[in-house]
Structure 1
Amino acid sequence: MSIDAFIMGIAFIMIHLLANDLIPSGRIQRLKWFSFSGGLAVSYVFVYVLPTLHKEQILVKKYGNYFTMESELYFIGLLGVLIFYGIQKVVRKEQRSGNPKKARALFWLQIKFFGFYNMLVAYTILSHNVSGIQAVFYGIAVGLHFVAVAHDLWREDADIYNKHGRYVLALGIVVGWITGMTISLSPLIESMIFAFISGAMILNVLKYELPPDDEAHFPTFAIGVVAYTTLTMSMKFFFQW
C-alpha cells in the first residue's frame, strides 16, 4: 500500500467517525457548506468518473470476446443506480409506514450496503494506484462525498448511526484495504467493480448531495464546480492524468 492510499484511507475512516462534527451547526453556514460540497461532487462526476468509465469501457475489449458492444460497463453502472435507488426507496417507504421495527431493520440493511460500497471504493483506490497530487484532488472529492452520505444516514436514524452505523461504514474502508493488499483480481473484474460503484456514486451525488432549491446557495455551488473543474482539468493537462 502506498503512503498516499494509506493517508486517504485514514482520512475516510475519520470522516465516517466524525462526519457530523465537521458540518457547521449554523443554518446558513451549513447550506453553504453542502452547496460547495455538492459543487465539488458534481464536478468530480463529470471530470473524473464519467471519463474514467469511458476509458474502462474501451479497455475491456482487450480482455477477450466477452464484450461485443460499447456499453456493457455502462449497463453495470446502471445496475449500481438501480440497486442503490431500490434499497433507499424501500427504506424511506418503511420509515413513513409507521412500523418502526421494520424500518430500523431495513435501515440496518442500508448501513450494511453502504459498508459494502465503502469496501469497493477503498479497493478501487488501491487497484488504480492513485497517488501524489492526483490522490489529493480525488481524495477531497470522495471524502466530501462520504461526509454527505454519512450525514444523510445520520438524519434518517441518528441513534443507530452514532452507536453502530458509522463503525460499520469505517470497517468497510478497512476491509477494502485488506482486500486490495491481499487479493489480486483480473483487470476485467476491477473494471466491473469501478462501473458498479460509479453508478451508485452518480446516483448519490445527483439525488442526495445536491441541495434542494430552497436550501441551496447557488453562488457557493458554482464556486465549487468552477474551482474544482478548473484545478482538475489543469492538472490533467500538465500531468497527463
Structure 2
Amino acid sequence: MVTTTTAAGAFALGLAAVHVLAGRLGRLDPASRRATVSFAGGVSVAYVFALLLPEVNRAVLEAVESGSTVGSFFRRDVHVYLVVLLGFVVFYGVHALVATSNRDAEASDAATPVFVAHVVAFTGYNALVGYLLFHQEGPGLLELSFYAVALGMHFLVVDASFRRHHGTAYDRLGRWILAGAVLAGAAVGAVTPIDEATLSVLFAFLAGSVVFNSIREELPEPGRIRYLAFLVGTGVYSAVLLFA
C-alpha cells in the first residue's frame, strides 16, 4: 500500500519534472499550445476556489471556535483572508516588476536583475509548494493527489510565463532552479514538523499567491478556443473535486 509520505515524494519529483520538461509544449502549434495552457489554468482556478480556499477557511474556523493556538493567532476566522491578501499583493508586485521591465523589450536572453528577482520570488513559491506536499490540511492520498495535480497544472502555466518573459535565460538556468526548489522544499517538509497555526498561515499565503497567478497568468486572452479550453479545465476539475 502506498503511504502519503511515499506519494508526496513521488509528486515532488513530478512537479519538478514539469519545469524541466514543459518546454516541449513549444513543439505544438501555437493554437494547441495556448489551448493546453488555458486548460491547465482552468484546473488551477477550480482547485483554488472549490477546494483550497474552503479548506483554509474551515481549518481556521474550527480553530477559532475551539480556542486553540490558531484561534488566538487569527482571533476571528476572517483574519486568515488578510494572509490570503498578502500572498496576492506580493505576487502582484513581482508581476508589476517583470511587466514594467519587459514592456518594451523582447524576452531576455541574459540573467538580468529582473530575471534574478523573478526567479528568487518563485524559488520561494515553489519551495512552499514542495514543503506543503508533506503537510496537507486534509488527510489522505486523495487530498494530496488533488493538490499535486492542480499545482502541476499551475506550474505548467508559470513555466510558460517565464519562457515568454525571459527566453533563453530561463531555459538555460531558471527552470532548473525552480525544479530544484520544489525538491528542496519537499525535503525540508519530509523531515520537519509544523504546528497548526503556521500550516494555516502557509496555506493561506499560497492561496492568495495562486489566486493572483491564476488571474494574471492563467486566464486566457479573448479567444473562443482558449476560453472553451479554460472552461473545460474548470468544469472537469470542479466536477472531480465536488463528486470525488
**Segment drifting more, 76-85 vs 17-26:** 17-26
Report the identity percentage: 26
RMSD across aligned C-alpha pairs, in angstroms?
Answer: 2.3
Other-structure match for 1:222: 231
Distance 1:48 1:176 in 2: 22
Q: Any gaps of 5 or more consecutive residues in structure 2?
A: none
1:33 to 1:24, Cα distance in 2 relative to 1, 3 A: farther
Report deviation, 1:60: 3.9
1:11-22 alignment runs, 5 A limit: 11-22=14-25
1:74 aligns with 2:77: no
SS at match of 1:213: coil
One-letter amino acid matched to 1:135: L
1:190-205 alignment runs, 5 A limit: 190-205=199-214
One-letter amino acid matched to 1:180: G
1:65-112 per-residue CA deviation (whole Å, 9 max, x = no partner) reads 3332232211011011111111210122122367x8999202211111
1:93 aligns with 2:93: no
1:101 to 1:24, Cα distance in 2 relative to 1, 3 A: closer
Q: Any gaps of 5 or more consecutive residues in structure 1?
A: 236-241
Report deviation, 1:47: 1.0
TM-score, normalisation: structure 1: 0.88
Q: Which of 27, 37, 40 is the matching residue for 1:37?
A: 40
Contact 1:94 1:102 in 2 (8 A): no
Contact 1:80 1:200 in 2 (8 A): yes
1:171 aligns with 2:170: no
Distance 2:134 2:27 in 1: 31
1:65 to 1:2, Cα distance in 2 relative to 1, 3 A: closer
Q: Which of 120, 124, 127 is the matching residue for 1:116?
A: 124
Contact 1:17 1:170 in 2 (8 A): yes
Other-structure match for 1:126: 134
Distance 2:128 2:170 in 1: 20
Distance 2:60 2:120 in 1: 29
Distance 1:122 1:186 in 2: 17
Report deviation, 1:130: 5.7
One-letter amino acid matched to 1:124: L
TM-score, normalisation: structure 2: 0.87
